[in-house]
A and B are shown apart, each in its own frame.
Chain A
Amino acid sequence: MAAKAPIIALVDDDKIFQLTASKTLKSTAITDTILQFENGEQALRFLRDHTTSPESLPDYIFLDINMPMIDGWMFLEDYESLKQKFSKSINIYMVSSSIDTRDIERARRNANVKDYIVKPVTREKFLELLKSVA
């Protein structure tokens, strides 16, 4: 990770989460490059538009479940067919306030999801996640 700071994407319709999460991430000094998407549709559109430019694609996606229009699950469905075109791998974390075991199980079963994180996410948690992959 020394060469380049990772790109992080936040996909969540909760404005307050977007705000607090990006502040927390910036405070870790790992990266300044944070992409913010209000829902799955926006995020997918970005990924499609940057398929051929790996330097612009995020290294990490923090994905919410409950979003209007395209929610987290639907995003994952579309991502499955989209990822073939990417020249780099993206680490997806499911981030939700839901502590419903059915949601957790469902996320764990999905091969594209690295882990399921329950909100709120602390600074330490973000650090741990980013380090573990790095």
Chain B
Amino acid sequence: MTSVTTAPRSTPMTPRRRRKPFSVSRSINSLLIVVIVIVQVYPLAWLFLTSVRTEHDFTTGDPFALPTSFTLDNYARAFGTGNLGLNILNSLIVTMGANVLIVFLGMMAAYALQVLGFRFSRLVRGAFLIGIIVPVQIALVPLFIDYSSVDLLDTYQSMIIPLAGFSLPMSVYLFSSFFEYIPRETYEAASLDGAGPYRIFGQITFPLSVNTIVTVVLVNSIFIWNDFIFANTFVLSDGLKTIPLGLQNYIGAMGKIDWTATFAAVCVTITPLLLVFLILNRGMRYGLESGATKG
């Protein structure tokens, strides 16, 4: 969080390391890794397996056994009882809304801090640090009170504002550290040509930042898409419920929990983000790493 020196990321493995023909300890290590990865990932695989089991199979069989029969009934029931489509739409709206704020406001703040510069910039940076350290829960009571006095409870904004606010500091740090790499001369040349701070922002800084924008969006989307606590506190009506709330409703909606259908619903809701992650995982991992080491 302070001035941590970042080790260069993703250095290719040094070729100097000598290749040994065969080593017992190396094989043991590889075996260990395989076991650890299986333990880590198995619960997720099990989630998908369970979602295609029949209910009878689920309640009576050995939980590790492969499904004896394949069925998609659970998915039909999941879509039939819940409001999955609407939940997904709401999550999309909230995620997009918050991301737009995070990207633009984060970039603007970083531009003011890093490129324009001003006297109290250290103070502002310090203030942003607080948002990384304190838990989001402390905002719940005050925001709940404020929202009810300005009639914002039970709206998309009520979720977007705190989600964007608490993600803003990390975004500001990521953009700041990227802006450091844009050479001063670029700005000076543009200035000499008569470009003011707004034109420089629009025509130089913004177009150059596309990669960082993608990183910021990817990293924040995980947390926003999965947000439970703000949605749970500020949203009451079914029409605005995001995926996490929609899932939680499966318990109530079906009285006695229909586990296989619930698992089918879980699979439906985690798949979009899992796919995005698997496709773009390099970018996402880069963002998570640099978010941590730059902080």
Whether chain B is bound by chain A comes out as: no
Binding site for A on B (CB under 8 A): none
Binding site for B on A (CB under 8 A): none
